[in-house]
Copies of this chain bind each other. A is one copy, B any other.
Amino acid sequence: MKKIGFVGLGTMGAPMASHLLKADYEIIVYNRTKEKADELIAKGAVFANSPADVARQSEVVFTMLTADSAVEQVVLGANGILEGANEGLIVVDSSTISPKTSKKLAAELAKKGVEMLDAPVTGSEPQAIEGVLTFMVGGKSEVYEKCAPLFEIMGKASFHMGENGAGSYMKLANNTLAAINLLSLSESLIMATKSGIDPELFVKVVSGGGARSGMVDNKTGKIISRDFRPHFATALMHKDLTLATDLAAELKLPVPVLSLVRQMLQMAISNGFGNEDMCSVIKCYEEWAEIEVTSK
Say yes or no: A187 contacts B196, CB within 8 Å.
no
Counting CB contacts under 8 A, is A157 at the interface?
Answer: yes
Residues of the B chain whose Cβ atoms lie less than 8 Å from the Cβ of A185: 177
Say yes or no: B210 contacts A214, CB within 8 Å.
yes
Residues of the B chain whose Cβ atoms lie less than 8 Å from the Cβ of A289: 251, 253
Q: Mark A137-170, 1 if CB is under 8 A from B, else 0.
A: 0000000000000000000110101100010011
Cβ-closest chain B residue relative to A176: B188
Given contacts A201-B159, A202-B170, is CB(A251)–CB(B192) below 8 Å? no
Given contacts A214-B212, A289-B253, is CB(A177)–CB(B188) below 8 Å? yes
Counting CB contacts under 8 A, is A110 at the interface?
Answer: no
Of A136, A176, A177, A253, most buried by chain B (CB within 10 Å of CB) is A177
Which of A11-19, A47-55, A59-67, A257-265 lies at the interface with chain B? A257-265
Contact of A122 among B157, B191, B210 (CB under 8 A): B210
Residues of the B chain whose Cβ atoms lie less than 8 Å from the Cβ of A247: 191, 195
Which residues of A1-17 are within 8 A (CB) of B? none
Provide the main secondary structure of the chain A interface: helix
Shortest CB-to-CB span from A136 to chain B, Å, is 6
Say yes or no: A210 contacts B124, CB within 8 Å.
yes
Contact of A211 among B181, B192, B248, B256 (CB under 8 A): B181
Residues of the B chain whose Cβ atoms lie less than 8 Å from the Cβ of A209: 122-123, 127, 134, 174, 178, 214
Counting CB contacts under 8 A, is A23 at the interface?
Answer: no
Shortest CB-to-CB span from A277 to chain B, Å, is 12
Counting CB contacts under 8 A, is A224 at the interface?
Answer: no
